[in-house]
Amino acid sequence: MADLEAFFHEDSFPETCTESENKAKEFVKYHEDTGIPVALVTSGGTKVPLEGNTVRYIDNFSIGTRGAVSAEFFLQHGYAVIFLYRCRSLEPFTRHLQNLHLLDILEVNSNEHDRNSSVVVKSDYCPQVLNVLKTYQDVKKKRQLLMLEFNTLGEYLYLLKACSIALSPLGNRALLYLAAAVSDFYIPKDKMPEHKIQSSDGPLQLSLEVVPKMLTPLVMEWVPNAFVISFKLETDPSLLISKSKQALDRYHHQVVIGNLLDTRKREVVSVTKDQENWIRLTDKELSLGVEIESKIVSEIVQKHRTFCSHD
């Protein structure tokens, strides 16, 4: 735990982080009264800077599909959602319009005598846009969704801690669904060059340190009564179950969702202290565009209900 505190001290955080922290507190305060469960969904990859004035950084493959899709399903199940995501990764709702170019779907409504032109969506695109817009506006009206952005690993850890602590007054009504792809390695501030690394200095050798494990303080201190789901990503199938069980034994949280890089969109394994349950999409479901997150979230919601009823 001391490691993680040192990490927070050595990093300096932009003002947006404190603004986001305040928004999270307000959001939770509001939902203390509505009585609905609140899910923190993390999504996308963390960026690890190589230079103080960052030109280069290490990133990972995640584009945030798991998080963005899951957030929509939690909303459908009546949860309020804090969506903590890597900026410019996939977002709930707008992801459905990702294939559209904004300026190509709009047209100007004007006539010669009318000085007040307006902009409207071209009729071909109306059904698609309307569908998403209606659901989004409904969610906004109920203040069900708060979107908070992070960029670097440091910002992610800062906001994860801030949101977890903000959620703690909700007790077991809080659910944490940690789908972000978090870097395991980073360069501490004091070992990082201030300025751009020069190629004229020859080949580059990097020495990275292991990122302190945040699940220990999260489960023990920050939000001790919440229902916590972490994700385990592997590429070697023979390690998936053992690594998922190891995470559960180490951190004593409720569920690990194990997934393999290549097959993550059609199968995952849900591991709890007394069960391993594969969640899969059939070929038919895949061809119909069913998203595996619908099944993952249904199972998690069920488990969360049971968890709350036992407390």
Q: Which positions touch ligand 9Z3 (CB under 6 A)?
A: 62-66, 178-179, 181-182, 230-233, 259, 264
Q: Which is nearer to ligand 9Z3, 82 or 181 (CB)?
A: 181
Q: Which residues touch 258 (CB under 8 Å, ≥6 apart)?
A: 231, 232, 234, 240, 241, 243, 244, 268, 269, 270, 271
Closest CB 182 distance from ligand 9Z3, rounded Å: 4
Q: Are 131 and 56 in contact (CB under 8 A)?
A: no
When the beta carbons of 43 and 144 are compared against ligand 9Z3, the nearer one is: 43
Query: Looking at this protein, which amino acid is placed at residue 301?
Result: V
Q: From the CB of 239, what's the least distance to ligand 9Z3, in Å?
A: 11
**Minimum CB separation from ligand 9Z3 for residue 68, in Å?**
8
> Considering the complex, what minimum distance in angstroms separates the CB of residue 200 from ligand 9Z3?
35
Task: Confirm if 70 and 293 have CB atoms less than 8 A apart.
Answer: yes
CA gap 33, 53 in Å, rounded:
44
Cα–Cα distance, 5 to 10 (Å, whole number): 9
Closer by beta carbon to ligand 9Z3, 31 or else 233: 233
Would you say 17 or 69 has its CB closer to ligand 9Z3?
69
Measure the CA–CA gap between 272 and 125, rounded to whole angstroms: 44
CA distance 177 to 179: 6
Stated as kind and residue range, the H or E segment containing 123 is none
Measured from the CB atom, is 75 or 228 closer to ligand 9Z3? 228
Compute the least distance from the CB of residue 128 to ligand 9Z3, in Å.
Answer: 22
CB of 134 to ligand 9Z3, least distance (A): 25
Least distance from ligand 9Z3 to the Cβ atom of residue 178, Å: 5
Q: Which of 5, 1, 91 is nearest to 41 (CA)?
A: 91
Q: With contact defined as beta carbons under 8 Å apart, do 107 and 120 qualify?
A: yes
Nearer to ligand 9Z3, 31 or 86 (CB): 86
Distance CA 41, CA 16 (A): 19
Helical packing angle, 292-310 and 65-76, nearest 10° = 60
Q: Which is nearer to ligand 9Z3, 31 or 268 (CB)?
A: 268
